[in-house]
Each structure stands twice: as C-alpha cells, then as structure tokens.
Amino acid sequence: DEEFNELCFEFGLELDEITSEKDIISKEKGEEKAKGASDTVLYKIDVPANRYDLLCLEGLVRGLQVFKERINLPRYEKIIPPEGEAQRLIITGETVHVRPHAVAAVLRNITFTKERYDSFIDLQEKLHQNICRRRALVAIGTHDLDTISGPFTFTAKPPSEIKFKPLNQSQEYTASQIMDLYRTDSHLRHYLHLIENKPLYPVIYDSNGVVLSMPPIINGDHTKISVKTRNVFIECTGTDITKAKIVLDIIVTMFSEYCEKPFSVEAAEVVYPNGKTHIYPELAYRKEKVKPELINKKIGISETPSSLAKLLTRMCLKSHVIGNGNNIEIEIPPTRADIIHACDIVEDAAIAYGYNNIQMTIPKTYTIANQLPLNKLTELLRLDLAAAGFTEALTFALCSQEDIADKLGMDISATKAVRIANPKTAEFQVARTTLLPGLLKTIAANRKMPLPLKLFEISDIVVKDPNTDVGARNYRHFCAVYYNKSPGFEIIHGLLDRVMQLLEVPPSEENGYTIKATEGSAFFPGRCAEIFAKGQSIGKLGVLHPDVITKFELTMPCSALEINIEPFV
C-alpha cells in the first residue's frame, strides 16, 4: 500500500484512502446496514479533472506502466472498412435545435469479462458527470451491434411519435410516458430537464426502425450490451462537437485493448444534413515543438534535452530531440486532450522529474510578506477576548432569511442581505448581515452547558453595495453575547470598555467613544445603546428582547454587543 501511495504521488495523483464497501457503508449509514457488504479492499484515487484518460482502470494501469517504463505507449489505429461496408450514422436537419452533433465508432470482436464490462459502464458514467457536464454537452450510448443493422438515423420527433422499450423495462412506452416514468428515478431524473421542454426529442433508429436510444435520457432495451457482446456500436450525441470527439476518443482508446486486434478501432461514417460525410473517431496524433531551455527555466532544473525527452515519454508524450538538441518534438496522443499549450507539456515534465526533486530556491524578487492589518487586529483581539473569559465560536457565513430578519424583528428588505440564487437548504438562503443569530443558535445547541455562557465571534458579514464592482461588501464585525439567569448588561458593557481600552480609544466625545440610548428591534425597550467612535456609529449593545430570545428557542435573558472593528485598523 505504501509503495502504491508513493507511485501515485510521483505520478501526480493522490491515493485518497484505502477502504472497503463495508467501511464506506458503516461510516455513512451505521454498522447495521453494512452487514453482508463486501470486504474487498478498495483504493480511492483522486484524478485531476483534466485527465480523462485516467478515469478507468485500463487507462490508469496503462499510464502507470508507461510511467514505470515497463511498456511502451501503444499506438492507437483506426481501421477504415472497405467502401460501403462502414457503419453509417445519418444526421437529419430536425436535430439542429435540440442536439445538433453526433459522432460514432465500432469496437470489433471485443472480449468482455464481468470486470471489464463494469469498468466500461463506469467510465461512461464518470465521463457523463465530468467532461459531459451531466450529459448537457454530450451523451454516450453503447449498443450491441449484432442486434441491429445500419445505416442508423439520428433525428428528432415529437415525443408522442417516439415509442420503444427503455433499458431494463418490460414494456414499450412513448417518450412522454418515459419522462413521467423517470421523474422519480434517483439517477435519471437529473437529466430530464435537458430536453423536457423542447418540441422535438432526439432519437436514433436503425434501418428497421428499432430505437437505439433517446439521448440524453435512456438507451433502448433491444440493443443493450452484456458480457457476451462481441461488437459494440458507440454513438455520442451532443451540443458541443469538440467535447463529443474527445469523449469518443477516450472510450475507444481505453477499451480497444480488449479487441481481437488490440488498440484498433473500426471507424464509422457520419453524414451531415448538408450531405457532407466525416469519418470518426478522429484519433488524431499531433506534433508540438518545445525548447528544452524553456522547460528547464520554467521548472527550475537543468536537465539535458535527451533526458527531458525521456521524462516526457514516461508521461505518455512520446518525445525525441531534433535539430542539434535545441528542440524537442513531442507527439500528443488522442488520449491527451488536456495538452493545449506548452505549459501543459512543461507541467508533465515537472511531474516526471518529481516535484520533490526540484531544488528549493529563494525567489529573486525582494518582497517580504506581511499580515493584512485587519487580520492582525482580529488575531490580537481574539486572544484578549478569550482572556476576558469569553469562548470563541465559528459559525456559518450563510443563514436563513428568518435568522437575520424575522427572528430579530426586522424586514428582510431592510437588511440589504445578499441572496443565494439556488439554495440547497432553507438554512443557507442568504449571506449573514449580522453575527448575532449565529451565536444565539450556538447557545441554543449548547443549552445543557453550565451557565453563564459567554461567547464571541470576530468574522465578516456581507451586505449589498451597488458602488462596488461585485455589488456587495464585507465588514469585519465583532459580536459577543452573555447568557445567564440575569441579563448581565453590565458584563457586556464592561467587555466593550475592555475592547476600547485594548484599542487605546478613550471614553470621550471628541476623539474617543461614547454610548447613547437608542431603540433597536432586537433589543428590550430602554435597554439598548448605540456606540459611537471615530465620529461614526459602529454598533449597538443591550439586553435582547424576550421575543428574540424565544424565537431562537432560548429560555434565559441574554445581552449582546456587536460592533464593526474596521474603523480601528
């Protein structure tokens, strides 16, 4: 395990954890539910989002074997069948407003086992979630070619005219019924919105009118692949042709090693509405040139051109030195769609060299880092507030509308709160405009603790501000609460005096701080004061109104103080 962890690290991956199905279930749902689950050891590996070629076991093993120099990088080839024998996918004009693009390929004489088949399905799912943006950009369909006969037609029809038996169902449904059927399906309901409100739904037929799939929702049951499948027809439909090509390339390069002739893919012909034809998959190899000194300079190493070429070859980028060693020619395989710029090549050279092997040097720029003054003041205050007997709390920056408005006796429009457009829970609807609700909720969750409870927090609050470039502004607030059988106004007032003493602000009207009686919706009438310092109002202190206390499910009196500390920086 340790060796494998090291290898992953060297290759630029992270072995997240070593676990088993049983462990995962018992962590999430308790030991009872985990009974009977598999004990097989599972490695959880974090793969960077740009490396689509490492998303399945086949690609990962191939990448690590090349990295360890145990095998050479295979050469992927596309076989173009004789004239008139290639599988054809004809795109009709109706698809243009729903999903205009499609690409296709065939894996001929493939041998699946249970493990290979599971990996094949799993790779499609990972690609759907990742590069396909939850099937919005591309949807993948894989079919048993022996159950259908080409040419295939990719068209779009009104939902009432599409009727077929969906994958793993026992009867035929129309497209509208399929939508209703999957509305409650935990997996497929997330994709219905992609075509639900369109007048025409995309659909793929074979020459006998058998439905292959209704992308991006579901395949037909007739063409479903199994472990016994020998010939696989792969189609990718989508709204982004570049992504569709990448997805097709990844699937065929990963699984062509199980074909009778390893690493070979049978090409398919796609006919566009304008009559033009194109052969897919492209499986394009391209060559790039990079200067060795650029690589050395960017990484901060001094390797010879030939050793740099060797490093890149270990990263699946076949390279050799050309022109008396002043250039390296790199061949980029179809599996590496993430190589877009010379920087990507330099990064791979750095990974192969080993980040830990790069000598650490002091940068040549003369700048000394410094703490942000506001953060420095915050750190200093936190220590002294803790010394004053208050306990620090850290609460969520998001809260519900009730917390900052209704429960404090205010109207939401008066708070200038920033709203979340699509909140996942009612608890996180707005960014907080005051720290008080967070502390009161903390007390409510700790009512069993012995009294008094003395809490404080120094954090940012957010309010709308049309004058800033982002439309909102942060302020660093300090809030403290005292919760006991008596309100303890004098304790909170004493804390204010201590904070001002630490900030070296004297109690005076001219150049110090003063408090003046005022009314606040959250405070008890006649028990609230506004605090003025540096010629401006910086906050309030007082005894909380009984209504506020009961709304936060508390039972004892409570006094609070909240000020903005930014004027004191």
- Report the run of H or E that residue 330 belongs to, with start and end: strand 327-332
Mean pLDDT of 63-85: 91
User: Using 50, 70 and 90 to split pLDDT, how confident is the model at 361?
Assistant: confident
- Please determine, for residue 419, whether its predicted confidence score (pLDDT) is greater than 80: yes
- Please determine, for residue 31, whether its predicted confidence score (pLDDT) is greater than 80: no
In this structure, the answer to whether residues 462 and 539 fall within a common structural domain is yes
Mean pLDDT of 234-238: 94
Q: Does 483 fall in a domain?
A: yes
Of 235, 250, 240, the residue nearest 50 (C-alpha): 250
Task: Convert 552-564 to b/e letters by CB count within 10 Å (16 or more is b).
Answer: bebebbbbbbbbb
- Please determine, for residue 535, whether its predicted confidence score (pLDDT) is greater than 80: yes
Angle at 20 between CA 14 and CA 26, to 5 degrees: 115
Distance between CA atoms of 456 and 395, rounded to whole angstroms? 10
CATH of the domain at 260: 3.50.40.10
Q: Are 482 and 443 in contact (CB under 8 A)?
A: no
In this structure, the answer to whether residues 22 and 152 fall within a common structural domain is no
Q: Say what percent of the chain tops pLDDT 90.
A: 72
Of 331, 328, 332, the residue nearest 295 (C-alpha): 328
Distance between CA atoms of 315 and 354, rounded to whole angstroms? 12
Phi-psi region of 59 (alpha: psi -120 to 50; beta: other; left: phi over 0): alpha
- Please determine, for residue 333, whether its predicted confidence score (pLDDT) is greater than 90: yes
In this structure, the answer to whether residues 113 and 154 fall within a common structural domain is yes
In this structure, the answer to whether residues 106 and 221 fall within a common structural domain is yes
CATH of the domain at 400: 3.30.930.10
Residues 382, 385, 386, 387, CA torsion sign: positive
In this structure, the answer to whether residues 127 and 213 fall within a common structural domain is yes
447 or 31, higher pLDDT = 447
When computed from its CA atoms, the radius of gyration of the chain, rounded to whole angstroms, is 32
Mean pLDDT of 211-240: 93
In this structure, the answer to whether residues 529 and 382 fall within a common structural domain is yes
Q: Does 181 fall in a domain?
A: no
Q: Which residue has the tokens 């012995």?
A: 450
In this structure, the answer to whether residues 383 and 420 fall within a common structural domain is yes
pLDDT of residue 141: 94
In this structure, the answer to whether residues 411 and 554 fall within a common structural domain is yes
Q: Does 405 fall in a domain?
A: yes
Mean pLDDT of 75-93: 91
Angle at 18 between CA 14 and CA 23, to 5 degrees: 135
- Please determine, for residue 32, whether its predicted confidence score (pLDDT) is greater than 80: no
Q: Does 68 fall in a domain?
A: no
CATH of the domain at 346: 3.30.56.10
Please name the amino acid found at residue 332.
I
Mean pLDDT of 190-212: 91
* Residue span of the structural domain in which 228 resides: 77-172+188-280
In this structure, the answer to whether residues 126 and 275 fall within a common structural domain is yes
Q: Which residues pair with 270 in a beta bridge?
A: 89, 278
Q: How far, in Å, are 99, 167, 213, 232, 251 from residue 223 at the CA level?
A: 21, 9, 9, 10, 18
Q: Does 106 fall in a domain?
A: yes
pLDDT of residue 89: 94
Which positions ≥6 away from 247 have C-beta within 8 Å?
52, 127, 131, 132, 138, 140, 236, 238
Domains in the chain, number: 4
In this structure, the answer to whether residues 558 and 460 fall within a common structural domain is yes
pLDDT tens track for 19-30: 888 887 777 777
Mean pLDDT of 316-328: 90
- Please determine, for residue 90, whether its predicted confidence score (pLDDT) is greater than 90: yes
pLDDT of residue 364: 79
pLDDT tens track for 450-498: 888 999 999 999 999 999 999 999 999 999 999 999 988 999 999 999 9
Q: Are 342 and 294 in contact (CB under 8 A)?
A: yes
Q: Does 52 fall in a domain?
A: no
32 or 166, higher pLDDT = 166
Q: Are 252 and 74 in contact (CB under 8 A)?
A: no
Of 525, 506, 528, 507, the residue nearest 517 (C-alpha): 528
- Please determine, for residue 363, whether its predicted confidence score (pLDDT) is greater than 80: no
- Please determine, for residue 422, whether its predicted confidence score (pLDDT) is greater than 80: yes
In this structure, the answer to whether residues 87 and 201 fall within a common structural domain is yes
Residues 219, 222, 223, 224, CA torsion sign: positive
Q: Which residue has the tokens 């603790």?
A: 449
- Please determine, for residue 34, whether its predicted confidence score (pLDDT) is greater than 90: no
Mean pLDDT of 95-103: 92
Average pLDDT taken over every residue of the chain = 91
pLDDT of residue 365: 79
Q: Does 183 fall in a domain?
A: no
Q: Does 67 fall in a domain?
A: no
- According to DSSP, residue 357 is labeled G
Mean pLDDT of 508-517: 88
User: Using 50, 70 and 90 to split pLDDT, how confident is the model at 530?
Assistant: very high
User: Using 50, 70 and 90 to split pLDDT, how confident is the model at 41?
Assistant: confident
Decide: pTM greater than 0.75.
no
In this structure, the answer to whether residues 409 and 349 fall within a common structural domain is no
